[in-house]
């Protein structure tokens, strides 16, 4: 049968349990603003009953565990969306700088110098013997070469800046993977001894989200609370308590940093996160723009040179090159384009060799006609350029649209996550009242049993 | 059990604040610049079309400049030829006078003297230059096309027969000159030759009538050639009208592509500001809502 001391034990134990529950509540309220914190719940369970003949008596309550409330699927989704956001964010930030170089809506870009160059030839055709008009052809050609040089050099500068960011991202990734490896080990050891690993998991989750912003992360449950992190293509990042560092080495040709893991070049395998966005800008967007500019510059220069050589200058001599010939294949043509003549009499406006016909404009007309000829990859120079402008704008605007819709998705998932893990002050306050009442009641029982014991003792006197 | 909602509503509020601020800033930028496309990414295809539009407008501007200079050149050439016609008409009229048999040799000599004067006047007209280039020298524009040998009265052509053409607008070219040899030394009517003949006929007293009729042929030849400049002036004026219209069209197109509707932008701005204020006031209220803790004693 039951005993007073048994009841006292139950009451005392209840006091301790409610105290634990109040402490959990207090901890929740304390961490209401802590990023990554998952609210904790005191798990109260009945202790096993005792049997007295046919009577079963309860033995009170115990604090079985304190669990952190989280939904690991939502955590994964947050990480996935964060990877997309990181990649798009990096792409957009550099893409905006690129489109600034070609902002035709504000009149910056290559259209104005291209049009001006052909306009100078148009003017030449009306007055081919005038030295001032000839000089203005040279000036316009020079302006065009400078515009090509500047645009190409600005793109290269941008590419080098992005390259620096690549190194920084790799350093940040390494710092995070080391931290995650440490916390990962703590989760494993806490799990092993039966402690609540929740706080460590919170911390680890927070770090993995940060890592997701930088690079694509794939999680594999390695058992016993431990996680293995790799990129989507399997490049190891964290295994158990060990972080795998990424290293960078400059490419011997381009000087741009390549990313290595365990001695293997993994640059092309980075699929998401800020690092992927930076690589995309550096290795695809800027590179493709540079080759397009090179194609435009070299095809234009070659066609103009060929036509110029077909004409005759003011002295009746055969025309030479107007532009210094671009490198064969066109690589680097835009950055190195220069004008070959500075003497206005050397402009080959005339179609015939007779030195006495300075008014002959046949070749000036032929040079002008190049404007409407498909001399650059099957397009006129200007159409080729406007295609380039479209691509720059379109790549960026697509990324911006994706980022906007992605950020709404992320926000939604984070709300769902907050629904599971976020601390609600009202809820905690209500719990506090419940635990406080239970505590007070248990204390009252203890004091009542004290009275009963007194009565029993007094009975013996 | 109902779904537990995220107790932390701050990120939602901040997001909507950021959005209304972004909308306000976009509308302000549109109002300030008068353009709905300020970056390529705002509307890539409009931006790409704009490149072609600006190029065409630039070309039109150059064509108009070309036309302006051609117009003056053609006018100078046309009025020169009109003077030539006057010179020849005068020569025909005094030649007819000289053909009158009652005139004395001295009278004819006096008339021959005037014809001589008309000849040098004609050479002067045929050597007319515009902005430093000779109009009737073919493409040898820096060489004086006609020289008069004062002893033999022979006129030599030093120019060539080159004809130049210039684009008035895309794909539309026009010839810009008639070589001097074709105008003044034409086989079908040689103005210099006819004047020379008249001069010698007056001096000798023989063949004056034939020389006058030669002059008539030369005059009609000049008038025929002059039609070229009249046509050219017409064509230049037509092209000028076309180009000016094209510029208007291009600027209309530009406005349609990237222009902004001020009324819409202004109402967008007001809407964004209202949304921003509403969110701010909601945020203020929600953040200062009492919690259960406030009611615990």
CB contact under 8 A, A99 and B41: yes
Dihedrals phi, psi of B61, to nearest 5 degrees: -60, -45
Identity of the residue in A383, A407, A422 whose CB atom sits nearest the CB atom of B6 = A422
Q: Which of residues 187-246 of A touch B (CB under 8 A)?
A: none
b/e burial code for range B190-224 (CB count within 10 A of at least 16 → b):
bbbbbbbbbbbbbbeeeebeebbebbbebbebbee
CB contact under 8 A, B39 and A103: yes
Model confidence pLDDT, tens digit, residues A407-431:
999 999 999 999 999 999 999 999 9
Of B87, B89, B84, B74, the closest CA to residue B178 belongs to B74
Q: What mean pLDDT is reported for chain A?
A: 93
- The dihedral through the CA atoms of A369, A372, A374, A379 has a sign that is positive
Give the contacts of A203 (CB within 8 A, at least 6 positions apart).
Answer: A36, A183
Mean pLDDT computed over A313-321: 91
8 A C-beta contact, residue A257 and residue A250? yes
CB contact under 8 A, B139 and A390: no
CB contact under 8 A, B5 and A419: yes
Q: Which of residues 316-355 of A touch B (CB under 8 A)?
A: 350, 352, 354
> What's the pLDDT score for residue A1?
52
CB contact under 8 A, B50 and A418: no
Distance, CA of B292 to CA of A288 (rounded, Å): 61
> What's the pLDDT score for residue A223?
85
Q: Is A103 exposed, middle or buried (0-12, 13-18, 19+ CB in 10 A)?
A: middle
Distance, CA of B13 to CA of B282 (rounded, Å): 9
Identity of the residue in A114, A122, A396 whose CB atom sits nearest the CB atom of B62 = A122
Dihedrals phi, psi of A314, to nearest 5 degrees: -65, -25
Three-class DSSP category at A69: coil
Mean pLDDT computed over A312-339: 93
8 A C-beta contact, residue B7 and residue A424? yes
Q: Which residues of B touch A396 (CB under 8 A)?
A: 40-41
Identity of the residue in A359, A389, A423 whose CB atom sits nearest the CB atom of B40 = A389
Who wins on pLDDT, A61 or B10? Answer: A61
What is the pTM assigned to this prediction? Answer: 0.88
Model confidence pLDDT, tens digit, residues A360-389:
999 999 999 999 999 999 999 999 999 999
Distance, CA of B283 to CA of B211 (rounded, Å): 106
> What's the pLDDT score for residue B295?
84
For residue A149, what are the CA distances in angstroms to A60, A110, A392, A433? 84, 11, 19, 74
Who wins on pLDDT, B294 or A125? Answer: A125
Residue B117 to chain A, least CA–CA distance (Å): 30
Identity of the residue in B4, B164, B296 whose CB atom sits nearest the CB atom of A359 = B164
Model confidence pLDDT, tens digit, residues B153-191:
889 999 999 999 999 988 889 999 999 999 998 888 899
Mean pLDDT computed over A436-455: 93
A219's enclosing H/E stretch is strand A218-223
Q: If pLDDT is split at 50, 70 and 90, which confidence band does A434 have?
A: very high
CA B100 to chain centre: 52
Residues lower than pLDDT 50 in chain B: none
Distance, CA of A444 to CA of A442 (rounded, Å): 5
Give me A356's structure tokens. 């006495």
Percent of chain A surpassing pLDDT 70: 99
Identify the DSSP state of B103: -
A416 touches chain B (CB under 8 A): yes
> What's the pLDDT score for residue B2?
66
Secondary-structure breakdown of chain A: helix, strand, coil percentages, each rounded to the nearest 5: 65, 10, 25
ipTM, 2 decimals? 0.89
CB contact under 8 A, A105 and B39: yes
8 A C-beta contact, residue A421 and residue A39? yes
Identity of the residue in B40, B59, B61 whose CB atom sits nearest the CB atom of A102 = B40
b/e burial code for range B150-160 (CB count within 10 A of at least 16 → b):
eeebebebbbb
> What's the pLDDT score for residue B292?
86
A109 touches chain B (CB under 8 A): yes
Mean pLDDT computed over A117-141: 95
Report how many Cβ contacts below 8 Å link chain A to chain B: 195
């Amino acid at each position: 049968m039951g005993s007073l001391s048994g009841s006292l034990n139950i009451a005392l134990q209840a006091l301790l349990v409610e105290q634990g529950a109040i402490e959990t509540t207090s901890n929740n309220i304390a961490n209401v603003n802590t990023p990554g914190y998952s609210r904790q719940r005191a798990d109260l369970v009945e202790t096993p009953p005792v049997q007295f003949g046919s009577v079963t008596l309860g033995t009170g309550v115990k604090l079985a565990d304190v669990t952190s409330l989280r939904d690991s699927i939502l955590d994964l989704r947050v990480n996935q969306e964060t990877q997309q956001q990181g990649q798009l964010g990096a792409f957009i930030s550099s893409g905006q700088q690129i489109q600034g170089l070609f902002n035709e809506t504000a009149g910056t870009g290559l259209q104005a110098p291209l049009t001006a160059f052909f306009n100078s030839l148009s003017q030449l055709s009306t007055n081919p013997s005038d030295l001032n008009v000839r000089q203005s052809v040279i000036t316009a050609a020079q302006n065009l070469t400078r515009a090509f040089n500047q645009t190409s050099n600005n793109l290269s500068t941008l590419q080098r800046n992005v390259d620096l960011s690549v190194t920084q991202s790799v350093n940040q990734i390494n710092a995070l993977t080391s931290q995650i490896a440490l916390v990962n080990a703590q989760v494993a050891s806490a799990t092993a001894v039966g402690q609540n690993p929740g706080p460590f998991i919170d911390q680890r989750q927070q770090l993995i989200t940060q890592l997701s912003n930088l690079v694509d992360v794939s999680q594999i449950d390695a058992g016993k609370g431990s996680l293995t992190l790799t990129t989507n293509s399997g490049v190891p990042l964290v295994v158990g308590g060990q972080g795998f560092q990424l290293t960078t080495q400059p490419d011997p040709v381009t000087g741009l940093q390549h990313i290595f893991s365990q001695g293997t070049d993994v640059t092309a395998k980075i699929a998401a996160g800020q690092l992927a966005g930076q690589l995309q800008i550096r290795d695809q967007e800027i590179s493709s723009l540079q080759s397009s500019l090179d194609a435009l510059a070299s095809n234009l220069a070659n066609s103009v040179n060929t036509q110029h050589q077909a004409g005759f200058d003011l002295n009746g001599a055969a025309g030479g090159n107007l532009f210094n010939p671009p490198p064969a294949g066109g690589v680097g043509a835009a950055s190195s384009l220069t004008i070959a003549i500075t003497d206005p009499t050397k402009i080959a406006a005339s179609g015939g060799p007779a030195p006495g016909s300075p008014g002959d404009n046949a070749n000036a007309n032929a040079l002008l006609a190049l404007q409407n000829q498909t001399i650059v990859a099957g397009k006129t120079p200007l159409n080729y350029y406007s295609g380039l402008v479209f691509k720059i704008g379109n790549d960026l605007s697509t990324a911006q649209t994706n980022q906007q819709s992605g950020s709404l998705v992320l926000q939604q998932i984070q709300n769902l996550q907050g629904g599971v893990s976020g601390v609600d002050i009202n809820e905690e306050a209500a719990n506090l009242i419940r635990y406080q009442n239970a505590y007070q009641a248990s204390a009252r029982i203890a004091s009542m049993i004290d009275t009963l014991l007194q009565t029993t003792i007094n009975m013996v006197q | 059990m109902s779904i537990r909602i995220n107790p932390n509503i701050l990120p939602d509020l901040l997001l909507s604040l950021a959005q209304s601020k972004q909308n306000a800033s976009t509308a302000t930028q549109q109002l300030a610049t008068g353009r709905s496309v300020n970056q390529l990414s705002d509307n890539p295809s409009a931006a790409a079309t704009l490149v072609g539009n600006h190029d065409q407008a630039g070309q039109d501007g150059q064509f108009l400049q070309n036309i302006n200079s051609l117009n003056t050149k053609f006018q100078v050439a046309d009025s020169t030829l009109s003077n030539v016609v006057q010179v020849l008409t005068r020569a025909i009229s005094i030649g007819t006078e000289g053909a009158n048999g009652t005139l004395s040799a001295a009278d004819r000599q006096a008339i021959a003297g005037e014809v001589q004067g008309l000849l040098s006047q004609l050479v002067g007209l045929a050597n007319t230059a515009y902005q430093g280039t000779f109009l009737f020298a073919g493409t040898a524009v820096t060489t004086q096309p006609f020289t008069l040998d004062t002893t033999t009265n022979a006129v030599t052509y030093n120019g060539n027969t080159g004809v130049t053409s210039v684009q008035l607008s895309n794909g539309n070219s026009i010839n810009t000159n008639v070589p001097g040899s074709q105008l003044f030394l034409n086989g079908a009517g040689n103005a210099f030759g006819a004047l020379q003949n008249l001069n010698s006929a007056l001096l000798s007293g023989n063949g004056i009538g034939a020389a006058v009729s030669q002059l008539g042929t030369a005059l009609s030849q000049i008038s025929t050639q002059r039609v070229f400049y009249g046509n050219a002036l017409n064509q230049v004026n037509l092209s000028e009208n076309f180009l000016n219209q094209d510029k208007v069209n291009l600027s209309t197109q530009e406005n349609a592509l990237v222009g902004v509707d001020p009324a819409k932008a202004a109402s967008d701005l007001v809407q964004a500001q209202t949304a921003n204020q509403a969110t701010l006031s909601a945020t203020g209220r929600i953040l200062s809502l009492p919690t259960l803790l406030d009611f615990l004693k």
